[in-house]
Amino acid sequence: MIRHAVLFKFKPDFPPADKAAWIEGLNRMDGNIPGLLKLTHGADVLQHRRSFDYAIVADFASAEDIEVYNTHPLHEPLKVYSFPNSEQIIAVDFPL
């Protein structure tokens, strides 16, 4: 099993309606992408200087399943929101 964790540092002008659409899209992915076993996500609550704004944690059976997820039709539209509205995105994939 592989855990895929992604952290987002948003630009200050990320339009609230776009952020809401992005979060709705995240909610649609859970249980609807082959190989995606579990998806959790949420905004940072402590807001320390070192904090990122948002995290996604997704569990997959294999690394190949992450590749399916990365190009899945439910995931692709979310990139239109996340890439232009983020100052930084970091990810790590590690075995469980």
Global pTM value: 0.93
Which domains are assigned to the chain?
Answer: 2-95 (3.30.70.100)
pLDDT tens sequence across 38-80: 999 999 999 999 999 999 999 999 999 999 999 999 999 999 9
User: Residue 22 and residue 93: Cα distance in Å, rounded?
Assistant: 22
Exposure letters 39-64 (e unless 16+ CB within 10 A, then b): bebeeeeeeeeeebbbebebbbeeee
Instruction: Say how many C-beta atoms besides its own lie within 10 A of residue 9's C-beta.
Output: 14
Where are the extended beta strands (E) located within the chain? 2-10, 36-43, 54-60, 86-95
85: exposed, middle or buried (C-beta count within 10 Å: 0-12, 13-18, 19+)?
middle
